[in-house]
Homo-oligomer: A and B are copies of this chain.
Amino acid sequence: MTNFSKAAIIGGGVIGGGWAARFALNGIDVAVFDPDPEAPRKIGEVYANAERALRVLCVAPLPKPGTITYADSIAEAVEGAQWIQESVSEVLALKHKVFAEIQASAPDTLIGSSTSGFKPSELQEGAVNSGSILVAHPFNPVYLLPLVELVPSPATSPETLAFAEAVLPPLGMKPLVVRKEIDAHIADRFLEAVWREALWLVKDGIATTEEIDDAIRFGFGLRWAQMGLFETYRVAGGEAGMKHFMAQFGPCLTFPWTKLMDVPEFTDELVDLIAGQSDAQSGHHSIRELERIRDDNLVGILQALKVKPWGAGETLAAYEKQLREASFGGTVEHDASKPLPLHTARVLPEWVDYNGHMTEFRYLHVFGDATDAFLTNIGMDSAYMARERSIYTVESHIRHVQEVAAGKPLALETQLLGYDEKRVRLCHIMREAETGEVLATGEHMMLSVDTKAGRATPLEEPVPARLAAIWEGGHKDLPAPDFAGRAIREI
A-B contact pairs, 8 of them (CB 8 A): A90-B252, A178-B211, A225-B301, A231-B281, A235-B294, A243-B271, A296-B307, A301-B301
Q: Given that A255-B184, A308-B296 are contacting pairs, would A250 and B226 also be in contact in the complex, using a CB cutoff of 8 Å?
A: no
Copies in the complex: 2
In the complex the two chains form, is B443's CB within 8 Å of A488's CB? yes
What is the minimal beta-carbon distance from A54 to any residue of chain B, in angstroms?
A: 15
Contact flags A157-192 to B (C-beta < 8 A → 1, else 0): 000000000000000001010111011111111111
Q: Is A373 an interface residue (CB 8 A)?
A: no
Chain B hits for A354, CB < 8 A: 59-60, 320-321, 324
Q: Given that A201-B186, A485-B487 are contacting pairs, would A312 and B228 also be in contact in the complex, using a CB cutoff of 8 Å?
A: no
In the complex the two chains form, is B192's CB within 8 Å of A223's CB? no
In the complex the two chains form, is B256's CB within 8 Å of A183's CB? yes
Chain B hits for A247, CB < 8 A: 271
Q: Is A128 an interface residue (CB 8 A)?
A: no
What is the minimal beta-carbon distance from A52 to any residue of chain B, in angstroms?
A: 15
In the complex the two chains form, is A297's CB within 8 Å of B290's CB? no
CA distance in complex: A214, B149 (Å): 10
Which one of A21-29, A257-265, A429-437 is at the B interface?
A257-265
Contact flags A220-249 to B (C-beta < 8 A → 1, else 0): 111111111111101111110111001111
In the complex the two chains form, is B213's CB within 8 Å of A420's CB? no
Q: Is A394 an interface residue (CB 8 A)?
A: yes
CA distance in complex: A271, B248 (Å): 12
Which one of A2-10, A66-74, A99-107, A358-366 is at the B interface?
A358-366
Chain B hits for A251, CB < 8 A: 266
Q: Is A198 an interface residue (CB 8 A)?
A: yes
Chain B hits for A420, CB < 8 A: 491
In the complex the two chains form, is B485's CB within 8 Å of A488's CB? yes
Supply 16 further A-B pairs (C-beta < 8 A) apart from A176-B215, A191-B229.
A178-B211, A183-B256, A186-B206, A187-B219, A189-B197, A192-B258, A196-B258, A214-B228, A222-B312, A235-B294, A260-B263, A297-B304, A303-B349, A361-B368, A396-B400, A444-B488
CA distance in complex: A352, B308 (Å): 12
CB contact list, A394-440 vs B, under 8 A: 394-401, 403, 406-407, 417-420, 423, 425
Q: Given that A219-B147, A258-B193, A301-B301 are contacting pairs, would A235 and B290 also be in contact in the complex, using a CB cutoff of 8 Å?
A: yes
Which one of A75-83, A138-146, A458-466 is at the B interface?
A138-146
CB contact list, A37-68 vs B, under 8 A: 59-60
Q: Is A127 an interface residue (CB 8 A)?
A: no
